[in-house]
Amino acid sequence: MLADLRDTAPLVQCITNVVVSNFTANVLLALGASPAMVDIPGEARQFAPVASGLLVNLGTPTGSQRDAMLEASEAAADAGTPWVLDPVAVGFLSIRTGTAKLLVTRRPTIIRGNASEIIALAGAGEGGRGVDSLDEPAAALEAARLLASLHGSVVAVSGAVDAIVAPGDAVIRVANGTPLLTRVTGGGCALGAVMAAFAALTPDALLAATAATGIYTQAAESAAATAAGPGTFAPLFLDALAAITPDDVVRGLNLSAGA
């Protein structure tokens, strides 16, 4: 799939937060995909059927951006464009939570978030501390299963060991990565865009979410090996995404499957 992504350069429409927009675009470019930050009403609806994949990220949901999210998700669903919902900081904050509750009914291909966000989206908790999770991925498995069952989505729960849950209760765990991903802006949000890129390559959303997570977190491990801290990690991570090969993935991927 990594080779396929670089051969086809899927076009990913990103309706994402202003804090991470530049980093997200650079992550997609480094990996070999093509970003399109089309996030205003009118254009968002027009672009979603043309895009290979769509990311909807609720990090800074202005009124205009919320309208664009609703337009694009509807147009993507109608056109069969795979799309990813990242319910950033849902739970306590009412506007983004209400928007997320509406968006999830449109059956996103993949839902990606930290454990507290997934629990809150399922209606089983009040979220974390802003964008920081107060829960571990294992605590979110039942909430992830519920969301997968209700909406037909694959649910990717990020953490020290990422858990990816499919409708039907299949669970894949990815034990790659580095804490430095939590210390740079966009470390989690950009992964949602990468998932949208991989979802454009296959109708198997579990495979797409697993491939995106595994490749992304392995590149992060490689960057962390020589980084002095968060400041040097971010550019090294972009370099590692550009340099990672399919053979690297085979050698380094740490997967397990189970309930």
Grade residue 216 by pLDDT with cuts at 50, 70 and 90.
Answer: very high
Q: Which residues are annotated as a binding site?
A: 37, 112, 158, 186
CA nearest to 27, candidates 165, 196, 206, 155: 196
Q: Is 24 left (phi over 0), alpha (psi -120 to 50) or beta?
A: alpha
The two three-digit tokens of residue 45, written as one number: 């609806």
How does DSSP assign 190-240, residue by residue?
A: HHHHHHHHHHTT-S-HHHHHHHHHHHHHHHHHHHHTT-SSHHHHHHHHHHH
Digit-coded pLDDT (tens) for 139-191: 889 999 999 999 999 999 999 999 999 998 789 999 999 999 999 999 999 99
Residue whose token pair is 């189970």: 258
Digit-coded pLDDT (tens) for 66-112: 999 999 999 999 999 999 999 998 988 889 999 999 999 999 999 99
In a 10 Å sphere around its CB, with 0-12 CB exposed, 13-18 middle and 19+ buried, how is residue 53 labelled? buried
Q: Which domains does the chain have, with CATH numbers?
A: 2-258 (3.40.1190.20)
Q: Which residues are annotated as a binding site for ATP?
A: 112, 158
Q: Which residues are annotated as a binding site for substrate?
A: 37, 186
The two three-digit tokens of residue 65, written as one number: 């951006």
Q: What three-state secondary structure class fits 258? A: strand
- pTM score of the predicted model: 0.94
Provide the 10 A C-beta neighbour count for residue 107.
15
CA 87 to chain centre: 10
